[in-house]
């Protein structure tokens, strides 16, 4: 199953969309979290770094799940009815 990968910058925040090339269905949509604090509030750099790291981990988890889903769908259709 071929995919189309679209990346963009919305201001300073990168975003990613992965679409099924044949149907055009969005399989994964991700945008880096906006971490701008409200005006007048102090910025906790450690908390901000942790949120960024969690967002990147979530992206890779979702990419792994998408790859596993694709792999299993291919396995199910190729291996249907064949004994081990």
pLDDT in tens, 50-73: 887 888 888 888 888 888 888 888
pLDDT in tens, 27-46: 888 887 776 666 667 777 78
Residue 82 and residue 61: Cα distance in Å, rounded?
A: 31
The reported pLDDT for the residue numbered 76 is: 56
pLDDT category at 6 given cuts 50, 70, 90 is confident
Q: What are phi and psi of 78, to 5 degrees?
A: -75, -40
- Return the higher-pLDDT residue of 74 and 36: 74
First to last CA, the chain: 25
Handedness of CA 62, 5, 19, 10 (dihedral sign): positive
CA–CA–CA angle 54, 37, 12 (5° rounding): 65
Q: What are phi and psi of 44, to 5 degrees?
A: -95, 100
């Amino acid at each position: 199953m071929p995919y189309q990968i679209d990346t963009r910058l919305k201001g300073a925040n990168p975003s990613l969309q992965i679409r099924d090339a044949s149907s055009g269905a969005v399989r994964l949509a991700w945008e880096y979290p906006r971490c701008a604090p409200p005006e007048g509030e102090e910025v906790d750099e450690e908390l901000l770094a942790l949120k960024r790291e969690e967002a990147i981990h979530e992206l890779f988890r979702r990419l792994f799940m998408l790859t596993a889903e694709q792999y299993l769908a291919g396995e199910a259709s190729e291996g249907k009815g064949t004994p081990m």
